[in-house]
Structure 1
Amino acid sequence: MSNSNTSLKQPRPFYMIFFLEMWERFGYYGLQAVLATFFVKSLGMSDAESFTIFGAFSAMVYGFVAIGGFIGDKVLGTKRTIVLGAITMMLGYILIGMATFDKSLVYISLALVAVGNGLFKANPSSLLSKLYAKDDPRLDGAFTLYYMSVNIGSFISMILVPVLGGKYGLSVGFYVCAAGLFLSLSSFFFFRKLVDGIDSPAGLAPLNIRNLALVLVGEVALIGFSTYMLQNLTVAHWLLLLVGITVFAIFFKEIFKSQEHERSKMIAAVILMVQAVVFFTLYQQMPTSLNFFAIKNVEHSLLGINIPNPEVFQSLNPFWIVLASPIIAYLYSVLGKQGRDLSMPGKFALGMVLCAISFLILPLGANFANSQGIVSVWWLVASYGFQSIGELLISGLGLAMVAKLVPQRMVGFVMGAWFLTTAAAGVIGGWVASLTAAPEGVTDPLQTLPIYSKVFLQIGEVTAVVAVIMILTVPILRRMIEGKPKEDEMNIQQVA
């Protein structure tokens, strides 16, 4: 393993994991791009109902990740769990393509996607963390570039799936999502030798057939229960709460068993996870309220190009991520060499400042809407830009934060707990998005614009308050992580 300090130079297995994640996310974000509008246009739901069900689905997608992390760490092994999750998701995408003709298949197909994602999601990042020592200077850059793989895949699919779905029918779009999973599995099988000997202890041991059988039976049961929960959202919300309490109870038990400095680092990780719930609630607005705002109140053209499928505007998020990721990874490397890099809490706080700005500029743009209530697309481009760079500083570094602050024995499990913050935000984000839903039958942009403007202003104001609190806690968290204050405490306070 190279000792290079350059974040852009990574070990060879990194690139295999990069493409594995890229094609898997291609499938998932293609589905996400059109799912809320599919609920409205094909299933006849109201905007508010579609946001609520989308939020519940998102909660399950990420709520099950801790289970997949545990199975990868302790039961089947990281690589075997990756394969099982990818196959399950691919079946889900194929089935939802068929559901455009048979609506009764919708909930079971979404359950397959949620359970498959739960098995898959924590394990590529867990595998990636095993390539580096805890103090490897390439780690932040590696996870930033890894996060770029997610956004290359999502950028392509968020354009391709809405366009193909609009032209040939959504079933074709969903089958394209399934093709993404096929490519993900193919890249893993062709280049699996690059990660020979890299796995959790369970994965390095011979396959235990009894464990595999138990996992498969549990998976089938969870798919059946998830199908039921998607049709009974109160049960889903209570189950999420129960899973969250269980996961964090296990985490806190490990915290209190740890030595003093290890314990303080793990407590800091929990605080950063709580902060991340706010970010993921904002992120949840992209496929819901921001998507419907783009459809109803934003001009459907960009750089003179007509955009017939405004769901495509969601691709602005991965566009900005792909553009900014290598620049930020480079800055981490340069500032790190100079001893001027912000701490992890400092980066989280700065990211939240940018997220607040991203929502505060939308009501400003609404003041410049034309006489028909249509806002210039450039306000949306700017909003996505601020939120995407904020995302890189929070979500993009969340996995690196887990790898740095959590003992190796718990990395897969706690990465699952990290994704559980997204699950909680799925429910909250669905509720927040429902506040933007216009009354039944109201479609006039002049009537919907004030609704969006008011809610986006409120979101921006609350986020700004959270950002200030985060800035004030940076010195405390920094001492918990490193045991000593550093210059960036002053730097982040100056940003405020």
Structure 2
Amino acid sequence: MSQSTNVLRQPKPFYMIFFLELWERFGYYGLQALLAVYFVKQLGMDDTTSFTTFGAFSALVFGLVAIGGFIGDRVIGTKRTMVLGALVLASGYLLMGMADHDHHLVYLALGCIAVGNGLFKANPSSLLSKCYEEGDKRLDGAFTMYYMAINIGSFISMVLVPELTDRFGWSVGFFTCTLGMILSVGSYWFLRSWVNGIGSAPDLAPVDMKKMVLVLAGTVAAIFLSAWMLQNLTVAHVLLAAVSSLVVVIFLKEIIASKGTEQKKMIAALIMMLQAVVFFVLYMQMPTSLNFFAINNVEHNILGIAINPVTFQSLNPFWIMLASPVLAYLYNRMGNSGRDLSMPMKFAIGMTLCATSFLILPLGAQFANAMGIVSSGWIIASYFFQAIGELLISGLGLAMVAQLVPQRLTGFIMGAWFLTSAAASVIGGFIASMTTVPSSNGAVDALQTLPVYAKVFLEIGLAAAVMAGLMLLTAPLLARMINGDETIAEQAATAH
């Protein structure tokens, strides 16, 4: 039976998960908008330490998602893990609001946020994938609209939270993030009946109290361990490498155990996840180097309206909100007519657009005024290209996992998808630190920073362009693997 091309015609649970994710992301992106600047202005870090600490924090945020996915799939259930994660996140934002200049409390709060996100993040998308039957043409559109929920939440918070922080202080900004989590948990609580009978195997069984107690104890231990690692970054990097290696080994073991088309699909998924690491390195420049570029070298207005320069980050979700319904409609329309682009080709086009987003910034630097200040139009355009590229890579990454990975592994592999962000966060933090220059009595000379930003952004753009070229060349082969068609070698063997 043909599926409707109306992207709003989704199963009922989709809408509950949509608002759950929207408010959770409101909380997280409000924090992300402020954090690197907070490190510098409130805790007295230099830019380099701020970027590398932010990179390590982000690595923990994403690196723990694979564990949360496993707990949701195999231990206490998708829905229970999701709610626990949301409550831990709310505790973290609350502690951030109370921290002021207390470094130890800040690290404890960030530990809560990293662990809470790890428990939460993979499970709404895992739950969403279980609301659709295999081969449902609405799936690409559903995940694109789901991705739009993320960006509605992040857009509102990236505009609102910096403004509230400017007016009333850091505490009010972080307490506003806490409010987002309260709304997220509330939306689930009142609409939870919509997902009755949907979830992982443990969701459909009575609560195993022994497992629940172990998960709660492990959560508390993980919070303190994460807080300690953020103060010992070398240990954090080593642990990330160990966790990444373990996840890759488990993934490879599952690939080897699979056969035929299932195996080819999983190999294609692994290759595309490795490609996504490059995208996430680019993405991690938004709260770090791009954020400080906007503060130091971009005029602080849009269309003549004065803005807080931190708010330029909201351009990313703004463009995504505008483009998501259009792309979702096109996916459904092209899918029903049999003319849809393959997912590897969408990834390749997305990387091309991301390369463009960085390559136009050094061009804009050539038109800076005598004070070293660039027109805001250049960063608006940069965020536009990056946002569309993000929709084609990160926005479809979850759908890619849902389509290519067996359901028994959905939560774990979705966690592994987020682990690509963890590896990229560390790399992205180090790359962002290449844009730092010494300040004089806390003041930054725009004429001194401009050529540094232009050089690093040019290098990032060229590296991304090379990756995009490789992805365009390999996309047809990956598409054949995904579709289960014979490879060229198999066709040759058949001919003989």
**TM-score, normalised on structure 2?**
0.96
Alignment of 1:84-103 (within 5 A): 84-103=84-103
**Is the 2:43–2:101 contact (alpha carbons within 8 Å) kept by the matching residues of 1?**
no
Structure 1 regions of 5+ residues with no counterpart?
487-496
Q: Distance between the aligned counterparts of 1:285 and 1:61, measured in 2?
A: 16
Show the counterpart of 2:184. Answer: 184
Q: Distance between the aligned counterparts of 1:407 and 1:334, measured in 2?
A: 26
Q: Distance between the aligned counterparts of 1:252 and 1:7, measured in 2?
A: 35
Which deviates more from structure 2 when the two are superposed, residues 117-126 or residues 257-266?
257-266
1:380–1:485 CA distance, 2 compared to 1 (3 A):
farther
Give the deviation of 1:2 after TM superposition. 9.5
Alignment of 1:237-316 (within 5 A): 237-307=237-307, 309-316=308-315
Q: Does 1:336 align with 2:374?
A: no
**Is the 1:143–1:397 contact (alpha carbons within 8 Å) kept by the matching residues of 2?**
yes
Alignment of 1:410-489 (within 5 A): 410-441=409-440, 443-484=444-485
1:374–1:352 CA distance, 2 compared to 1 (3 A):
same
Structure 2 regions of 5+ residues with no counterpart?
488-496
Which residue identity does 2:206 align to in structure 1? P
Q: Distance between the aligned counterparts of 2:484 and 2:14, measured in 1?
A: 31
Q: Distance between the aligned counterparts of 1:86 and 1:138, measured in 2?
A: 28
CA distances 1:23-74 after superposition (whole Å, capped 9, x unpaired): 0000000000000000000011111110000000000000000000000000
Show the counterpart of 2:326. Answer: 327
Give the deviation of 1:3 after TM superposition. 4.3
Give the deviation of 1:103 after TM superposition. 3.1
CA distances 1:153-196 after superposition (whole Å, capped 9, x unpaired): 00000011100001100100000000000000000000000000
CA distances 1:410-459 after superposition (whole Å, capped 9, x unpaired): 00000000000000000000011001111243611111000000000000
Alignment of 1:103-252 (within 5 A): 103-252=103-252
Q: Distance between the aligned counterparts of 2:83 and 2:405, measured in 1?
A: 25
**Is the 1:16–1:191 contact (alpha carbons within 8 Å) kept by the matching residues of 2?**
yes
SS in 1 for 2:181: helix
Which deviates more from structure 2 when the two are superposed, residues 155-164 or residues 97-106?
97-106
Q: Distance between the aligned counterparts of 2:485 and 2:378, measured in 1?
A: 42
**Is the 2:2–2:336 contact (alpha carbons within 8 Å) kept by the matching residues of 1?**
no
Q: Distance between the aligned counterparts of 1:301 and 1:449, measured in 2?
A: 18
SS in 2 for 1:373: coil
Identity score, percent: 66
Q: Distance between the aligned counterparts of 2:102 and 2:242, measured in 1?
A: 33
CA distances 1:353-403 after superposition (whole Å, capped 9, x unpaired): 000000000000000001110000000000000000000000000000000
Give the deviation of 1:485 after TM superposition. 8.7
**Is the 1:99–1:105 contact (alpha carbons within 8 Å) kept by the matching residues of 2?**
yes
Q: Distance between the aligned counterparts of 2:134 and 2:437, measured in 1?
A: 50
CA distances 1:70-125 after superposition (whole Å, capped 9, x unpaired): 00000010000011000000000000111115332010000000000000000000
Q: Distance between the aligned counterparts of 2:331 and 2:2, measured in 1?
A: 18
Give the deviation of 1:335 after TM superposition. 1.5
Show the counterpart of 2:365. Answer: 366
**Is the 1:360–1:456 contact (alpha carbons within 8 Å) kept by the matching residues of 2?**
yes
SS in 2 for 1:372: coil
Which deviates more from structure 2 when the two are superposed, residues 7-16 or residues 83-92?
7-16
Which residue identity does 2:52 align to in structure 1? T
SS in 1 for 2:287: coil
Which residue identity does 1:482 align to in structure 2? N
**Is the 2:5–2:333 contact (alpha carbons within 8 Å) kept by the matching residues of 1?**
no
Show the counterpart of 2:71. Answer: 71
1:198–1:107 CA distance, 2 compared to 1 (3 A):
same
Q: Distance between the aligned counterparts of 1:210 and 1:220, measured in 2?
A: 16
Q: Distance between the aligned counterparts of 2:245 and 2:371, measured in 1?
A: 48
**Is the 1:478–1:485 contact (alpha carbons within 8 Å) kept by the matching residues of 2?**
no
SS in 2 for 1:8: coil
**Is the 1:51–1:431 contact (alpha carbons within 8 Å) kept by the matching residues of 2?**
yes
CA distances 1:452-473 after superposition (whole Å, capped 9, x unpaired): 0000000000000000000000
Show the counterpart of 1:490. Answer: none
Which residue identity does 2:484 align to in structure 1? G
Which residue identity does 2:352 align to in structure 1? V
Which residue identity does 2:177 align to in structure 1? C
Q: Distance between the aligned counterparts of 2:3 and 2:377, measured in 1?
A: 43
**Is the 1:59–1:426 contact (alpha carbons within 8 Å) kept by the matching residues of 2?**
yes
Give the deviation of 1:7 after TM superposition. 3.1
Which residue identity does 1:116 align to in structure 2? G
Show the counterpart of 2:494. Answer: none
Q: Distance between the aligned counterparts of 1:104 and 1:334, measured in 2?
A: 53
Count of residue correspondences = 485
Q: Distance between the aligned counterparts of 2:381 and 2:391, measured in 1?
A: 16
**Is the 1:7–1:137 contact (alpha carbons within 8 Å) kept by the matching residues of 2?**
no
Q: Distance between the aligned counterparts of 1:131 and 1:444, measured in 2?
A: 54
Q: Distance between the aligned counterparts of 1:46 and 1:74, measured in 2?
A: 43
Give the deviation of 1:5 after TM superposition. 4.4
Which residue identity does 1:294 align to in structure 2? A
Which residue identity does 2:387 align to in structure 1? S
Q: RMSD value over aligned CA atoms?
A: 1.3
1:2–1:119 CA distance, 2 compared to 1 (3 A):
farther
Which residue identity does 2:270 align to in structure 1? V
Which residue identity does 1:468 align to in structure 2? G
Show the counterpart of 2:380. Answer: 381
Show the counterpart of 1:491. Answer: none
Give the deviation of 1:483 after TM superposition. 2.7
**Is the 1:46–1:440 contact (alpha carbons within 8 Å) kept by the matching residues of 2?**
no
SS in 1 for 2:147: helix
